[in-house]
A and B are shown apart, each in its own frame.
Chain A
Amino acid sequence: MNFDKELDARGLNCPLPILRTKKSLAELTTGQVLKVIATDPGSVKDMQAFAKQTGNELLSSAEAGGEFMFFLKKK
């Protein structure tokens, strides 16, 4: 998937992944895509809640080798 910005949130635990995500999204314009890589298993549900609450669309959420990858589209 194409993305405009990547955020490495590996090694960071709650609430840092979504706090950093919010900050990174602020630097994008509407429609741009942010890729987030995290190792915190709690981040899966956190990203879903974040997307639902803030209206930024969670395009995909996947796990590979202990890492979680999310693609979010800025609203």
Chain B
Amino acid sequence: MSKKLAIIATKGTLDWAYPPYILASTAAALGYEVQVFFTFYGLQLVRKDLSGLKVSPLGNPGMPMKMPFGPQWFRDINWNIPNIIQANIPGFETLATSLMKQTIKNNGVATIGELRELCQEAEVKFIACQMTVELFGFKHSDFIDGLEFAGAAMFFDFAGESDICLYI
């Protein structure tokens, strides 16, 4: 009997998109049965169009800010830009997002779309919280195929039997 992994995904930014998909795909590769419940901002991870996934350095002191281009000594510099500047430059978030994506690509790490596809290939079950879909005025057509829409009670059926349950 395979071990079970249940993940509750509640965040919708690019940096928070990686943990649920990496954990789910890795566990599936190791033979776990995996189900992921997407709720609140986690719904952003199961949209058809992932181009809206962004990362914000604002108020995020844990984020290293290094340039993904140039000579190595330049790349090693950590640019500690004060919040007051970040908040006032339009397009700062978009810039930070594209730099993050470049860093990810430079390091041979998969894109969110690729990881999501690998999960579905590995038969990871994706469930979207029907209540928050309605709450935010989303339509079923906004989301990818193969997604089930249900409530927390239904998810507890699997989560209650899981060996590992993670809240992300």
Which residues of A come within 8 Å of B, CB atoms? Answer: 11-16, 18-19, 21-23, 39-40, 49-50, 53-54
Contacting pair B25 A13 (CB below 8 A): no
Given A15-B29, A19-B29, A49-B30, 20 more pairs with CB closer than 8 A: A11-B108, A12-B108, A13-B107, A14-B22, A14-B26, A14-B109, A15-B22, A15-B110, A16-B109, A18-B26, A18-B29, A18-B30, A19-B25, A19-B118, A21-B29, A23-B121, A50-B29, A50-B30, A53-B31, A54-B30
Q: Which residues of A contact B108 (CB under 8 A)?
A: 11-13, 16, 39-40
Contacting pair B29 A22 (CB below 8 A): yes
Distance in Å from the Cβ of B2 to the closest Cβ of chain A?
A: 10
Which residues of B come within 8 Å of A, CB atoms? Answer: 22, 25-26, 29-31, 107-110, 118, 121-122
Contacting pair B30 A53 (CB below 8 A): yes
Q: Which residues of A contact B122 (CB under 8 A)?
A: 19, 22
Q: How many A-B residue pairs have CB under 8 A?
A: 38
Residue of A nearest to B26 (CB): A15
**Alpha-carbon gap, A52 to B30, bound state (A):** 9
Instruction: Jot down 28 A-B pairs with beta carbons below 8 A, ordered by A.
Output: A11-B108, A12-B108, A13-B108, A13-B109, A14-B22, A14-B26, A14-B109, A15-B22, A15-B25, A15-B26, A15-B29, A16-B108, A16-B109, A16-B110, A19-B26, A19-B29, A19-B118, A19-B122, A21-B29, A22-B29, A22-B122, A40-B108, A49-B30, A50-B29, A50-B30, A53-B30, A53-B31, A54-B31
**Alpha-carbon gap, A40 to B22, bound state (A):** 16
Residue of B nearest to A54 (CB): B31
